[in-house]
């Protein structure tokens, strides 16, 4: 028996040929029956039986490697502090924080009075999760008076949350619950009144309702309803807590409306009519709105306007757009602004006055790192909470003291089983792509790992979501077995600025795939990696990347891990009844209306381009309740791979029958999937103890 190829036969999905025509082109699909007609309910016995058969086959394949999986799990678990707790943050008269009890999968959230007193548990996730195979806290928030808490939970991975409230003084939970919503409640300045987002039948946040404690949620008034099926609604509050923002948008366009927190039932004020491709974020201090927008420069600029005239025609430029400084966030405090930006792919945090004067930048000690604003709830703080990490430096929390510019270390992520950063080295490489642009690559390895050792390469490249060079305790299990690990910062992310995102979306989507292949080939040419001894991993849109590069350059890869992969791109983008399809058209193109978009997506869509060739070993994961990448996409892809490929390398498919897009919940249960993934990679590479 070869590694991960059990003696039992692999499941074979039956074929039910269908054909459709768009723009005069036929699309055939032999495995469309794997989509349950009753979705989001999945009750078809044949479909469930096939998924369970695939799960059983995968478990049989993993069974001989159970000792390695358990070893990896214990290693990863041993690097987590079981009785961990957060650094408290202040919010008004209270300090808040979380704590993990030893052995607990989920957090307890606590608070205590700033002027002293004991910690009190305000939200006990372990109790809320009890009896559920899956649990996720959607978020929580405390009313301005500190008396009421509201929170939302999801217990099946469908991301349809249920909201509850309780009195933090008496401990009594309110009798009313609100189902089919998303996110935490946003409290107004009126006693006992909060806003929330309602989901449509298609899982689209489309309504904003107001609820008054003690009333029937069925009577909650609608404050805003978004009619465009391509727009999702988002709720937030300014740092000052004086304004509530209702933002509708897709991936590239924002339309914002404003409500006074003390007058939420007044008609919301429109800031600017939606214009395709124009985005904005809004914050507030004093009599001024501060707006981050890309209306005049793709790397964004900051404008200001009076609270009495927030409309676009009144905007005044405060910080101009720049080709070198990619502005990513503006945060308005009472006496100063914080601007988050990225320069040459690295995070920077800039402080300045409200008129952009007296600018200063917070300096960090390494050449490659990730830095961000932490929990800063106060409007007039004397210090800022900052988060920091790199590929060799564990997550570190600082307080930046505004008076003297001092960075005070509050907490460094503790690794109980031990970690010596001096054993590892990280590099930032610039790799030439086929069109001449240079693609950043972050690489980490042990210092004693030789060049040409097995390499694991990670990629995403979509939605302008950069993949920062972050720290990972789990990754150490690969590094300590002689593997190198790299992140390819390919186009489609925003690591190098907004143009980097735009160069990997829509009509330029193929740059993303080319970059990833070019990075791998360059690492081989430079002797850093060995052809055919590179494993790769990506999830969701990154899973699409895995599917494309497996089709286009299978000879480069030893093994592929594709998590909830968006691999049936053409069929999904042709189905406007799916909740995410209309909002995704700006990212991928609309193949229904645009013949060129149809041709492009058909050219790269992984499912449509599976061919009769030898493929690398693959491990594919899905979630039955996933509303983002539906389970049938990877199910169909694997079925077609089994039918068409010309070799018999391991091909394993696991569907989590009780979870969604993020896989298993709970800090330890999630590690079990990671341990399986890493065991698959280690064995396929013959790395470390798997070599024996």
Domain boundary assignment for the chain:
45-76+418-568+606-691, 100-278
Average confidence score pLDDT of the chain: 94
pLDDT band for position 606 (50/70/90)?
very high
CA gap 653, 58 in Å, rounded: 6
Secondary structure of residue 346 in the 3-state scheme: strand
* Residue 663 pLDDT level (bands cut at 50, 70, 90): low
Closest CA to 204 of 581, 526, 532: 581
pLDDT band at residue 628, thresholds of 50, 70 and 90?
Answer: confident
Question: Residue 515: is it exposed, middle or buried by C-beta count within 10 angstroms (0-12/13-18/19+)?
Answer: buried
CB–CB of 250/586 below 8 Å? yes
Q: How confident is the model at residue 689 (pLDDT cuts 50, 70, 90)?
A: low
pLDDT average, residue stretch 473-483:
97
Residue holding tokens 């699909």?
29
Told to judge if 661 belongs to the known catalytic residues of this protein, a careful annotator would answer yes
Distances (CA, A) of 258 to 245, 305, 439, 689: 5, 13, 40, 59
Query: Three-state DSSP class for 579?
Result: coil
- Conformational region of residue 572, where left means phi above 0, alpha means psi within -120 to 50, and beta covers everything else: alpha
What is the CATH code for 100-278? 2.130.10.120
pTM: 0.92
pLDDT tens digits, one per residue of 299-329: 999 999 999 999 999 999 999 999 999 999 9
Specify the higher pLDDT residue, 658 or 258. Answer: 258
As a CATH number, domain 45-76+418-568+606-691 is 3.40.50.1820
What residues contact residue 36 under an 8 Å CB cut-off, 6+ apart? 42, 43, 44, 47, 632
Q: What are phi and psi of 270, to 5 degrees?
A: -75, 130
Q: Closest Cα partner for 296 from 270, 311, 316?
A: 316
Asked whether the beta carbons of 631 and 622 are under 8 A apart, the reply is yes
Q: What is the pLDDT, as a whole number, of residue 688?
A: 61
- Of residues 451 and 2, the one with the higher pLDDT is 451
pLDDT digits (tens, 9 = 90+) for 25-38: 999 999 999 999 99
Q: With contact defined as beta carbons under 8 Å apart, do 244 and 236 qualify?
A: yes
Rounded Cα–Cα distance for residues 163 and 176 (Å): 9
For the cut 90, the answer to whether the pLDDT of residue 90 exceeds it is yes
pLDDT at 1 over 60: no
Q: Determine the pLDDT at residue 692.
A: 37
Active-site residue, from 272, 368, 540, 605: 540
- Is 653 a residue whose pLDDT tops 60? yes
pLDDT confidence of residue 3: 84
- If phi > 0 it is left, if psi is from -120 to 50 it is alpha, else beta; for residue 358 that is left
Task: Choose the catalytic residue: 152, 626, 665, 685.
Answer: 626
pLDDT of residue 661: 63
The tens digit of pLDDT for each residue in 196-226 reads 999 988 888 999 999 999 999 999 999 999 9
Helices 45-62 & 632-644 angle (0-180, nearest 10): 70
Residue 209: CB partners within 8 Å, gap ≥ 6? Answer: 195, 196, 198, 217, 220, 221, 222, 223
Integer Cα distance of 639 and 56 in angstroms: 15
CA distance 494 to 505: 11
> Which residue in 331, 348, 489, 661 is the catalytic one?
661
Q: How many residues does the chain have?
A: 692
Which of 535-549, 573-587, 592-606 has the least mean pLDDT? Answer: 573-587
pLDDT at res. 654 = 97
Dump pLDDT digits (tens) for 386-412.
999 999 999 999 999 999 999 999 999
Per-residue pLDDT, 691: 42
Q: What distance in Å separates the CA atoms of residue 203 and residue 197, rounded to the nearest whole number?
A: 11
Confidence bin at 660 (pLDDT 50/70/90): low
Cα-flanking dihedrals φ and ψ of residue 338, to 5°?
-120, 125
* Catalytic residue list contains 219: no
Active site includes 540? yes
């Amino acid at each position: 028996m070869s590694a991960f190829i059990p003696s039992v036969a692999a499941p074979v999905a039956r074929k039910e040929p269908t054909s459709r025509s768009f723009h005069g082109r036929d699309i055939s699909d032999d495995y469309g029956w794997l989509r349950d007609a009753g979705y989001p309910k999945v009750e078809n016995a044949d479909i469930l039986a096939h998924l369970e058969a695939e799960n059983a086959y995968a478990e049989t394949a993993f069974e001989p490697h159970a000792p390695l999986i358990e070893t990896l799990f214990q290693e990863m678990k041993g690097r987590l502090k079981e009785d961990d707790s957060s650094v408290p943050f202040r919010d008004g008269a209270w300090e808040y924080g979380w704590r993990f009890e030893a052995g607990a999968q989920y957090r307890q959230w606590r608070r205590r009075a700033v002027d002293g007193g004991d910690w009190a548990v305000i939200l006990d996730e372990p109790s809320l999760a009890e009896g559920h195979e899956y649990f996720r806290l959607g978020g929580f928030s405390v009313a301005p008076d500190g008396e009421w808490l509201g929170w939302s939970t999801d217990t099946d991975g469908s991301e349809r949350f249920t909201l509850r409230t309780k009195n933090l003084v008496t401990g009594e939970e309110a009798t009313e619950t609100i189902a089919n919503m998303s996110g935490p409640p946003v409290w107004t300045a009126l006693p006992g009144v909060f806003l929330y987002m309602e989901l449509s039948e298609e899982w689209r946040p489309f309504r904003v309702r107001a609820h008054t404690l003690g009333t029937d949620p069925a009577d909650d008034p609608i404050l805003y309803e978004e009619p465009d099926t391509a727009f999702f609604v988002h709720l937030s509050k300014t740092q000052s807590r004086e304004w509530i923002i209702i933002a509708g948008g897709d991936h590239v366009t924002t339309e914002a409306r404003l409500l006074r927190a003390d007058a939420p039932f007044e008609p919301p004020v429109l800031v600017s009519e939606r214009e395709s491709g124009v985005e904005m974020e809004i914050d507030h201090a004093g009599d001024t709105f501060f707006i981050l927008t890309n209306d005049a420069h793709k790397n964004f600029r900051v404008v200001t306007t009076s609270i009495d005239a927030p409309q676009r025609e009144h905007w005044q430029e405060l910080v101009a757009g720049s080709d070198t400084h990619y502005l990513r966030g503006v945060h308005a405090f009472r006496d100063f602004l914080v601007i988050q930006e990225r320069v040459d792919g690295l995070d920077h945090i800039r402080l300045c006055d409200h008129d952009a004067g007296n600018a200063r930048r917070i300096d960090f000690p390494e050449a490659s790192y990730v830095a961000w604003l932490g929990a800063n709830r106060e409007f007039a703080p004397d210090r800022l909470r900052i988060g920091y990490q790199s590929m060799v430096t564990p997550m570190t929390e600082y307080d930046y003291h505004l008076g003297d510019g001092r960075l005070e270390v509050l907490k460094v992520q503790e690794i109980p089983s031990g970690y010596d950063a001096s054993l590892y080295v990280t590099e930032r490489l610039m790799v030439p792509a086929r069109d001449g642009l240079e693609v950043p690559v972050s690489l980490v390895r042990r210092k004693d790992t030789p060049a040409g050792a097995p390499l694991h390469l990670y990629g995403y490249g979509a939605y302008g979501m950069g993949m920062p060079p972050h720290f990972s305790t789990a990754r150490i299990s690969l590094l300590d077995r002689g593997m190198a690990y790299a992140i390819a910062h390919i186009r489609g992310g925003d690591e190098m600025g907004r143009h980097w995102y735009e160069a990997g979306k829509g009509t330029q989507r193929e740059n993303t795939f080319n970059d990833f292949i070019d990075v791998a080939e360059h690492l081989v040419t430079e002797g850093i990696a060995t052809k055919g001894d590179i494993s790769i991993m990506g999830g969701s849109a990154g899973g699409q990347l895995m599917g494309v590069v497996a089709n286009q350059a299978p000879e480069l890869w030893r093994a592929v891990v594709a998590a909830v992969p968006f691999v049936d791109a053409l069929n999904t983008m042709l189905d406007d009844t799916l909740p995410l399809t209309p909002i995704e058209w700006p990212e991928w193109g609309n193949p229904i209306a645009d013949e060129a978009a149809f041709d492009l997506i058909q050219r790269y869509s992984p499912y449509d381009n599976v061919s009769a060739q030898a493929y690398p070993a693959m491990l594919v994961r899905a979630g039955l309740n996933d509303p983002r990448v539906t389970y049938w996409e990877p199910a169909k892809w694997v079925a077609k791979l089994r039918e068409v490929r010309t070799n018999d390398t391991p091909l394993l498919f696991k569907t989590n029958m009780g979870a969604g897009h993020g896989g298993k919940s709970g800090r330890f249960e999630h590690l079990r999937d990671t341990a399986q993934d890493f065991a698959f990679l280690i064995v396929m590479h013959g790395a470390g103890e798997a070599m024996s």
